[in-house]
Homo-oligomer: A and B are copies of this chain.
Amino acid sequence: MTIREQASEAARAARRLATLSTAARNQALLAMADALLREEPVVLAANAADMEAGRAKSLKASLLDRLLLTPERLADMAEGLRQVAALPDPVGAILGGSTLPNGLTVTKIRVPLGVVGIVYEARPNVTADAIGLCLKSGNAVLLKGGSEALHSNTAVAAVLRRAAEEAGIPAGAVQFIASTDHGAVQELIRLRGLVDVVIPRGSARLIQAVVANATVPVIETGVGVCHTFVDASADFDKAERIILNAKTQRPSTCNALETLLVHEAVADTFLPRIVRVLQEHGVTVLGDARVQAVDSAVEAATDEDWATEYGDLRLSVKVVSGLDEALDHIASYGTKHSECILTEDYDHARRFQQAVDAACVYVNASTRFTDGFQFGFGAEIGISTQKLHARGPMALPELTTYKYLLCGDGQVRP
């Protein structure tokens, strides 16, 4: 089947899926969780093939670990599907409306998007997560995963699709593109009219390739050059705890700290302390001349460093003259993801939150909280860094749209 045919089948299924009851969709998710556990040998055998190919290609150990499926990880995937089943259904919520002077009623109701395309590179668990979230929100889903995980993804998608259809989900609602051809992504993202949105998840390169060539509407996700600004009035103990957490608790994530901005008034007091503590925790510090003056081990930060999402234990540090320079730096180099001020000054906290244009703007807390689960959404399909449709952590409501229902008894326009 061609990708266009897969998308057409998904679009047809989406029409029927849109009117399926909440109970039917939840039942399917539970059946899918059971199937994943029941078919463990099949999925693990497929994964073993990917692992062998990965070792033959000398993939990095960290990549191999992300690729690996174990009985525990499969159980986590199944548990994830059960948790999604337990979440409130976003579909059908009445969002507002009115009765016009002529008696025509206008009701704004939440409905599924239709067909959601997901292009991803990461772990095979994304396959199960994405299918679960899309079906729960009444959407058909068209998946294109990375080539390293092809066997695993194919197996997981096949198991879940079969279980879903046996439980009453319309045939064709789950589509996996089992192609390693690079043109497959390009074809998928230009199926406007069949695919309602594409969400890319993975490297900055993947995301940019999707954004540059898609005609289907895209929700850009993920890249986070996150800043934390230490104001003159910051509480040093809080600041140390927050900065360490934001940088080191899980440095590979998009909400981890990448650039620390320090008010020059505390450059002599706080800066030596935080540089030392960061280095003690294995962080390589890069900085401008004033930061380098603090410690001879600090490497020079280039213009490129300010724009880089390291994703590891590196941190660029810059001394700024105050709030305004911090705001300018963030406006120039930020990716509109998560930004933070550490301050005890009410007015500065307020000004920072008003002025910074980002999905999440923090006062005195670690940027690591930018996450659908941490926000209490119970799920996450990605973190949007664009402003259209959804911003920040996206969960079930962000996988929906709305329509207006108008009920009349003969109204015409004068």
A residues with a Cβ closer than 8 A to B are 15, 18-19, 98, 100, 104, 106, 111, 113-114, 192, 196-197, 211-212, 215, 217-219, 235, 238, 241-242, 244-246, 249, 331, 349, 353-355, 357-366, 368-370, 374-376, 386-389, 391-392, 401-413
Q: Are A409 and B15 in contact (CB-based, < 8 A)?
A: no
Identity of the chain B residue whose Cβ is nearest the Cβ of A213 in the assembled complex:
B215
Can you identify 11 A-B contacts, CB atoms within 8 angstroms?
A18-B355, A106-B375, A114-B387, A192-B211, A242-B411, A362-B408, A365-B410, A365-B412, A388-B388, A389-B389, A392-B404
CA distance A19 to B351 in the complex (A): 9
User: Closest approach, in angstroms, between the C-beta of A254 and any C-beta of chain B?
Assistant: 14
Residue among A18, A212, A364, A410 with max Cβ neighbours from chain B (10 Å): A410
Across the interface, name the chain B residue whose C-beta is closest to A355.
B19
Number of copies: 2
Describe A's contact surface by its main secondary structure. mixed
- Contact of A364 (CB < 8 Å), options: B196, B244, B391, B410: B410
State whether B406 touches A361 (Cβ < 8 A): yes
A406 touches B360 (CB 8 A): yes
Per a CB cutoff under 8 Å, which of B18, B244, B391 touches A403? B391
Given contacts A100-B369, A246-B412, A369-B413, 20 further A-B contacts (CB under 8 A): A18-B354, A18-B357, A106-B375, A192-B211, A238-B409, A242-B410, A242-B412, A245-B412, A360-B403, A361-B403, A361-B404, A362-B406, A362-B408, A364-B410, A365-B406, A368-B412, A368-B413, A391-B403, A391-B404, A392-B403
> B403, A363: Cβ atoms under 8 Å?
no
Q: What B residues does A412 contact at CB under 8 A?
A: 241-242, 244-246, 249, 365-366, 368
Tell me the smallest distance from the CB of A117 to a CB of chain B, in Å: 12
Q: Which residues of B have CB within 8 Å of A363?
A: 406-408
Known: A19-B354, A355-B15. A360 touches B404 (CB 8 A): yes
Interchain residue pairs A-B with the least CB separation, the first 4: A365-B408, A245-B412, A387-B401, A368-B413
CB-based nearest B residue for A352: B405
